[in-house]
Structure 1
Amino acid sequence: MLLDIEKYPCTPNYQLASELPLVLFDCQFDGVDWICDQA
């Protein structure tokens, strides 16, 4: 368990996330009127 500071005395070494952006391709929400700004 990471809360055991005697076994894990420092911050865990996490891997970095991918540099590729996440893109929302398609989603569906019933009853929502989207307002899109062209700015």
Structure 2
Amino acid sequence: MTSKLQAWRFIAILIAVVLSFAVWRAPELITAIRWW
């Protein structure tokens, strides 16, 4: 039970990091897509 909780916590932290990175890089990605 505790191992599953730790796994879900790790997954949640990973998703939070990916989302924050995506939001941080969003303006550059939008401008890059716009220039296509």
Q: TM-score scaled by structure 1?
A: 0.27
Q: Structure 1 or 2: larger helix share?
A: 2
User: Higher RCO, 1 or 2 (CA under 8 Å, sep at least 6)?
Assistant: 1
